[in-house]
Amino acid sequence: MKIVVAVKQVPERDAAIRVGADGRWIEEEDLSYTINEPDAYALEEALQLKEKHGGEVVVVGAGPERVTSTLREALAKGADRAIHVEAVDLGERDTLGVAQVLADAIAAEAPDLVLTGLQSDDLGLGQTGVVMAELLGLPHATIIMQVEVTASGLRVKQELEDGWFQHVEMPLPALLTMQSGGNKLRYATLMGIKKAKAKELKTETAAAAAASPSARLERVYLPQRQKHTEMLTGSPAEVAAKLVQILKNDVRVL
Amino acid sequence: MRVAMLHCGGATAIGFLGRAGDACLLGTLILAEPEHFSGTEITLLLLAMLASAGLFLQRLWPILQTIHHAQPEQDFHLRPLGRRTAAFVWEVLLQGKVIRQRPLPGLAHAFVFWGFLAFALVSLNHVATGLRLGFLPPQSWAGRFYFDFAAVWALLVAVSIVGLFVRRFFVRPIWLGEHLSYESGVIAGLIFLLMVSYLGAFAVAPGGSAVKLLWWSHTAALLVFLPLIPHTKHLHLVLSPLTVFLKRDSFAQIPRLHGDEDFGLVAGKDVTQLIALQTYSCVECGRCTEHCPAATTGKVLNPKEVVLGLRSYLNTVGPASEVPLLAEARPDTAYAPTLSMEAVFGCTTCGSCEFQCPVGIQHVPVIVGLRRGAVNTGTWEDDYGTKLFLALEKHGNALGLSAAERDKFVTKQGFPIFDGTQEYCLWLGCMGGYDPKGREIIADFARVMHFLGTSFGVLKKERCTGDPARRLGNDLLFGTLADSGLKSLEAAKVQKIVAICPHCVRTIAEDWREYGIAPQIEHHSEFMARHRDRLPQQQGQSIVYHDPCYLGRYREQYDAPRQVVQQAGALVEAPRHRERSFCCGAGGGLAFLGEEHGERVSHVRAQELVATGADVVGTACPFCNTMFRDALHETERQPQLLDIAQLTARALPSQPPGGEP
């Protein structure tokens, strides 16, 4: 089975984020980058499927030159090849534009299965996977915890709300967006890094954006921490009633 | 003369021989030798010698071949010879380690060893006599002197070997192994026969049949003994002097990996010549196991069995093989727990085994080498281990907390950032930067530095030294961390570092060398001991000091922390202290792995410390501290638990003289 994993490089989780001067993106200097967490799980799933059923795992990542470090890490963990779609203007493209860049590279591979994270740690739009599926003309399923290969295709475990799951049967080829935590990630090894040196990392140049973006980032800002105390007054019965209203309507925990 | 000798030889008590002749007046007993050997006897002797030597070489030769065909030792240097010679003289010739660590059996062994040395000349002359080539006539001045000298040793050897026999077969210490070694009994019998047949020759007349009988039984014992050497653990007679001389440079030293195919000890092909030599030198005394915190608390690990497992691998599979060393990776064989991942990952790298070993086996590089083989190839799968590695990869600290937590702590404490103007860089470490108790220790040590007027700063960003990754065998992660640590120290132009954690000190000072030379680093015990004259002398409390493995055996700092403790109260020693200190259970990355099987190492040690009756348990390592913090909840009595920095800081005035620098 040939599996393509689309990965995104994002700032480290505990990096000290500073908003850029124009207020529309963050300062990228001094930031360290890593693989998007759900993408790490997508890669892990792909590697486990390959270990079970054989085949090939190809990782694809788009972005500036720094993205290659994340692709190298994926090779070190066990991917067979990597494709770097070089583009420095991804920030100015909308989801469709980014998905198009990735879909172009993936289509050329004609994979049996495409895996990617359900969303990214930085923007969290959760759209790239499903838009890619549309562009590639593949059936897709989202928020997948487990993948099983069956005689007719796949049986996947999909996360629903409130701790519910459902199992879905689907044909191949297909695209799945993976949830974090379904597997145990593996650690990078010396042997992996040494082997990765000999593996192919191909760089392709992204096609120029076809259309102007239909959506763009207006402003990024750090979450404001606010402490707000409201004293409820009245008889115990009144206070309790008010409290229930707030918990139901404002805080929405009831 | 003949009569005198007869009389002399016939009686053993010198006092009765007053008128028997000059020799006897001098109190000299003369060894009786057979006077004549027939051609048949000589032929028989020659054939027996040939057979004995043949059987000896038949086993020794393949062993030497195995060692020879093992992986050549890459970073091996014979120089400096001084250190090697000193180890040889102390450990081999003087039997220093053998005696010091097990005094009574050690002394018995030493007598046997020295006796053997004394007997070299005797044996040579003995066999030569049988070939009519005797060169040391018993009547000559030199002969009389030397044979009497050897007789004294023969007596000591005979008594010692009986003692050792009684110990092995009647006292039966468990460290010698569950099964009685009958070959040891045979060897002991042969040695006894050698001594008795030698001593007997002083008591019989020369030329008689008794002399012949004694001579032949002595010869037979010699010729049977020789081939038994390479076939039994007595091979150490031949190999261990060499092993001790050729040991790797420093204690628990983890060798570099070489080339793209070296991941540590994965298969037979990775076993180096030095390791092969060491495994064949093992005398199976079990000192390593006796002092092993894992083996003595019911874990699978048994360092002696790891060495013997390697030896058996070399004997059966061979040194150039691709067959994996660890049992879990060898589905072809029955599960052998002695050489398994489960065993080697139970090691705290405390180094007791290596320190104790009387024949120069270096266990820690072997155990860490086997871990390297499993981790560097991704064969080791352990949820806690993976979590630790991912935490170190991602957050740069072993506790898996956000690096921002350290920044907050540094700001809250008001620690200046090191900018090149301060004398010391205070290395916080994972415990000092993230762990609540470790932070208390760092804060108190900072107070001590303030009080002494020593300027210091902390690094803006600091990542783990890589100690747990190093000991668990993750070379990729360790290399990344060592490299980034060296770069940040260089960028900050640090000249001198002081740290509260012996693991940080060891890793920066020794293990980082593979990646570059780090600035000079010392442990806070060394710093405080140097300034102890200026620190307040406290009275009253008794403090039992626990030697951390990485400060004691690894760094040989036993006195400095004790000087600090003595400044803070009355020092009490635990039964096992200094070089023989017992581990807290945290080292080797084990603090981050799952629950132990069997008894907890920390509990055993905590109970021992509490039993001393001391008011305070004094530690010098934040890992020991954290282990005892938990263990002391379950002891009968709960003495205070304080790091030596806290012991010192508690007597300081709340405001340092001259205010905050």
**Average pLDDT value for residue range B64-85:** 93
Instruction: Give the pLDDT of residue A7.
Output: 97
Angstroms from B508 CA to nearest CA on chain A: 21
Predicted confidence band of residue B28 (pLDDT cuts 50, 70, 90)? low
Instruction: Give the pLDDT of residue B162.
Output: 96
Cα(B413)–Cα(B408) distance, integer angstroms: 9
B157 shares a domain with B73: yes
On chain B, the residues whose CB falls within 8 A of the CB of A34 are 394
B336 shares a domain with B456: no
Closest CB to B389: pick one of A14, A16, A187: A187
Residue B239 lies in a domain: no
Residue recorded with tokens 């992660």: B477
Residue of chain A minimizing CA distance to B379: A189
**What single letter denotes the amino acid at residue A133?**
A
Cα(A86)–Cα(A65) distance, integer angstroms: 7
Instruction: Give the pLDDT of residue B626.
Output: 96
Q: Which residues contact B436 (CB under 8 A, 6 or more apart)?
A: none
Mean pLDDT value across chain B: 92
Among the residue ranges A199-203, B45-49, B334-338, B511-515, the one predicted with the least confidence is: B334-338
CATH of the domain at B253: 1.10.1060
B459 shares a domain with B362: no
Cα(B30)–Cα(B8) distance, integer angstroms: 8
CA neighbor of A211 nearest in space, from A103, A96, A102, A132: A96
- Phi-psi region at B330: left, alpha or beta (left = phi > 0; alpha = psi -120 to 50): beta
B499 shares a domain with B362: no
Angstroms from A194 CA to nearest CA on chain B: 7
Residue A9: beta bridge partners? A35
On chain A, the residues whose CB falls within 8 A of the CB of B257 are 190
On chain B, the residues whose CB falls within 8 A of the CB of A40 are none
Residue B610 lies in a domain: yes
B426 shares a domain with B349: no
Report percent pLDDT > 90 for chain B: 84
How many CB atoms neighbour CB A16 within 10 A?
A: 13
Predicted confidence band of residue B542 (pLDDT cuts 50, 70, 90)? very high
B361 shares a domain with B258: yes
Q: Which residues contact B406 (CB under 8 A, 6 or more apart)?
A: B397, B428, B433, B434, B462
Cα(B262)–Cα(B376) distance, integer angstroms: 9
Instruction: Give the pLDDT of residue B335.
Output: 64
B347 shares a domain with B313: yes
| Alpha-helical segments (H) within B247-362 | 273-281, 287-290, 303-316, 341-344, 352-356
Instruction: Give the pLDDT of residue B658.
Output: 44
Residue B47 lies in a domain: yes
Number of structural domains chain B divides into:
5
Residue B619 lies in a domain: yes
Angstroms from A240 CA to nearest CA on chain B: 39
Per residue in B184-210, pLDDT (tens digit) is 999 999 999 999 999 999 988 877 889
Cα(A99)–Cα(A124) distance, integer angstroms: 14
Per residue in B154-168, pLDDT (tens digit) is 999 999 999 999 999
Among the residue ranges B103-107, B112-116, B334-338, the one predicted with the least confidence is: B334-338
Instruction: Give the pLDDT of residue B148.
Output: 94
Residue A3: beta bridge partners? A57, A113
Q: Find the domain containing B2 and state its range.
A: 1-30
**Residue ending a domain, choose from B464, B498, B530:** B530
B363 shares a domain with B222: no
Q: Is the pLDDT of residue B27 over 60?
A: no
On chain B, the residues whose CB falls within 8 A of the CB of A185 are 386, 390
Q: Is the pLDDT of residue B131 over 80?
A: yes
| Interface contact A188-B393, CB threshold 8 A | yes
Task: Answer whether B378 touches A (CB < 8 Å).
Answer: yes
pLDDT of chain A, 254 residues: tens digit per residue: 999 999 999 998 777 788 988 888 888 877 889 999 999 999 999 999 999 999 999 999 999 999 999 999 999 999 999 999 999 888 888 999 999 999 999 999 999 999 999 999 988 999 999 999 999 999 999 999 999 999 999 999 999 988 899 999 999 999 999 999 989 999 989 999 999 989 999 999 988 877 788 888 888 888 888 888 889 999 999 999 999 999 988 887 77
Task: Answer whether B482 touches A (CB < 8 Å).
Answer: no
**Average pLDDT value for residue range B140-158:** 95
Q: Is the pLDDT of residue B609 over 70?
A: yes
Per residue in B361-400, pLDDT (tens digit) is 999 999 999 999 999 999 999 999 999 999 998 889 999 9
| Residues in A lying within 8 Å of B, measured between beta carbons | 12-14, 16, 34, 184-194
Instruction: Give the pLDDT of residue A251.
Output: 81
Hey, where are the domains in chain A? 2-205
Residue B241 lies in a domain: no
Q: E strands along B198-343, which residues?
A: none
| Interface contact A189-B383, CB threshold 8 A | no
Cα(A149)–Cα(A54) distance, integer angstroms: 12
CATH of the domain at B128: 1.20.950
User: With contact defined as beta carbons under 8 Å apart, do B34 and B211 qualify?
Assistant: yes
Predicted confidence band of residue B321 (pLDDT cuts 50, 70, 90)? very high
Task: Answer whether B371 touches A (CB < 8 Å).
Answer: no
| Interface contact A188-B477, CB threshold 8 A | yes
**Residue ending a domain, choose from B318, B346, B376:** B376
Residue of chain A minimizing CA distance to B385: A187
Query: Domain A2-205 adopts which CATH fold?
Result: Rossmann fold (3.40.50)
On chain B, the residues whose CB falls within 8 A of the CB of A187 are 375, 378, 385-386, 389-390, 393, 474, 477
**Average pLDDT value for residue range B70-77:** 91
Predicted confidence band of residue B12 (pLDDT cuts 50, 70, 90)? very low
DSSP state of A4: E
**Residue ending a domain, choose from B492, B510, B530:** B530
Instruction: Give the pLDDT of residue B334.
Output: 65
CA neighbor of B345 nearest in space, from B596, B600, B584: B596
Is residue A165 helix, strand or coil? Answer: strand
CATH of the domain at B576: 3.40.50
Among the residue ranges A162-166, B103-107, B551-555, B600-604, the one predicted with the least confidence is: A162-166
